[in-house]
Structure 1
């Protein structure tokens, strides 16, 4: 009889250990890798967002306009979010889609990026010279996340939506905004201050002349956002969940005596895009853990719930009823 009891105890212990190990592995998969990125090719069923061009003129800025902009947003600590306008988009059936800016007077640096992003000094850019007509033929690769991914945490899906900002300098999240904050932190770590053109944050004081010299000495590290000693990246920014990356397929420059002009657009629409979707959700987690419990212990998730119930709520009411019966017996004995 004792030998049978020992065998049963060993079998139960092996079952519990196996159930815990397999369930832990399943839980880790749900936390670390619940999504999958697949490729879609039905390009006639979707639209591609029109690329945004940001032009940075090489001329000196208008101090009055800069001060007015600073007083309206930065000095007043204004974090107002404006509702997004309808973005321009198109597909193969729309034909070429382009935009142009004409009759400018100064050369500029041109950044091409997504409509929900801002330009960054480290991304690819092109030069627009004076009395030049520049044309840019672009194509893009889009990635989007399905509605199911909203139920996952940021850590699980490894990306952030626009409204999930954790930044000190912006109420919305973008990858380049995150890198900008990393540059501010790196500037503060290296020089004890940040450049004057960043949005004022109490945590980061503005540099004086000595601080500006310090930033100049570390300019390469600040642009690349790397530690100058170890050459390792100091920024751990997550990509946006919905994004479009644009590539310049063809760039053409011709002399133009009627001013400085630029034209950019989509002449070749992408025929594939990436989709992020949930591969292993919470329902799958319950099914896997329940199956593991049934295989190793001959029970289900409901059995664990019953055990928890008996040792918590049921035990509590049992103790309460026991105390009441004791009080009643004492009253009767008197």
Structure 2
């Protein structure tokens, strides 16, 4: 037994001498017994401390594996609530159209009734389905449609009721933004509930500084059904130095860097609308009634709307 122990002693000494563990070589290289004892105590204390910390870490992982940290991504703390545009499948109040037809002085009341319903539902896809009717001035199209639309409550107005005249006469004022309401996601789930819609609808979600157009992707709900949608926010941030770059370098524009003629501010969708207006003027020589006109631009009549329908593929191409 003693011979076996003696044969292992040189091996142990050699291992301690060449070991990369700090302190081991001093146990065999040092000739002073006091120094050897000091290094032995240091090694024992270090091993005990490391073992104790490892034990605490493993115990915490088994009993409570969650970790609480402080979120420093402050750019995501203030997230704008997305905007939603709701388009009912019934575009106008048919009862109001019926009453208007009864009290109107047009000669063909049934044709007038069909014309108003078709005009309200008119898009580039079905302009050619609008019946010919020449007893109504084309400048009155948008006014009558707005008067016969469904009432939606609550309505937060930003004008005094003369906005249509300002809109037509190019009188624009950008006022300071006012908060309607705020939500805090830390207090719980935030949601908006829309009730008592008497027809089916299509809903579009977009940014708070954007609008929806004909090629925007939406979700459709039939009449009599309930629709529940959940949204997840994705934050995309950039340095403030991005503002110092010109729009060609950024490949985008801020809303105040407007170069559009028919809109007071810039947005991507409004830019597409501007392209459609220019194309309509080029192909058919007029501007559809649901767009704003400037200068001497002509409103599209029924014949012009049928002209636009021939090129519907060109207009819808601006959505890609």
TM-score, scaled to structure 2:
0.51
CA–CA separation in structure 2 for the residues paired with 1:215 and 1:124: 22
| Partner SS state of residue 287, structure 2 | coil
Q: Is the Cα contact below 8 Å between 1:49 and 1:115 reproduced in 2? A: yes
**Structure 1 match to 2:84:** 53
Higher relative contact order (CA 8 A, sep 6+): 1
Q: Identify which of 178, 183, 203 aligns with 1:85.
A: 178
Structure with greater proportional strand content: 1
Shift of the 190–142 alpha-carbon distance from structure 1 to 2, 3 Å rule, reads farther
Higher Rg: 2
Task: String of CA shifts for 1:106-160, please: whole Å, max 9, x gaps.
Answer: 2222111111100121121111222221100112333344322222222222211
The RMSD of aligned alpha carbons is 2.8
**Structure 2 match to 1:303:** none
Residue correspondence of structure 1 range 135-214 to structure 2 within 5 A? 135-202=228-295, 204-214=297-307
| Partner SS state of residue 53, structure 1 | strand
Residue correspondence of structure 1 range 26-41 to structure 2 within 5 A? none
CA–CA separation in structure 1 for the residues paired with 2:195 and 2:89: 17
Shift of the 126–74 alpha-carbon distance from structure 1 to 2, 3 Å rule, reads same
CA–CA separation in structure 2 for the residues paired with 1:73 and 1:146: 37
Could you tell me how far 1:59 is from its partner in structure 2?
2.4
| Partner SS state of residue 205, structure 2 | strand
Unaligned runs of 5+ in 2: 1-70, 94-142, 148-160
Q: Is the Cα contact below 8 Å between 1:111 and 1:124 reproduced in 2? A: yes
| Partner SS state of residue 316, structure 2 | helix
Residue correspondence of structure 1 range 1-334 to structure 2 within 5 A? 46-47=76-77, 48-61=79-92, 66=146, 71-86=164-179, 88=182, 93-202=186-295, 204-225=297-318
Task: String of CA shifts for 1:201-257, please: whole Å, max 9, x gaps.
Answer: 23642222221111111123202228xxxxxx7xxxxxxxxxxxxxxxxxxxxxxxx
**Structure 1 match to 2:25:** none
Q: Is the Cα contact below 8 Å between 1:186 and 1:225 reproduced in 2? A: no
CA–CA separation in structure 1 for the residues paired with 2:202 and 2:289: 21
Q: Is the Cα contact below 8 Å between 2:200 and 2:221 reproduced in 1? A: yes
Shift of the 72–203 alpha-carbon distance from structure 1 to 2, 3 Å rule, reads closer
Shift of the 59–143 alpha-carbon distance from structure 1 to 2, 3 Å rule, reads same
| Partner SS state of residue 195, structure 2 | strand
Could you tell me how far 1:90 is from its partner in structure 2?
5.1
Q: Is the Cα contact below 8 Å between 1:55 and 1:109 reproduced in 2? A: yes
TM-score, scaled to structure 1:
0.49
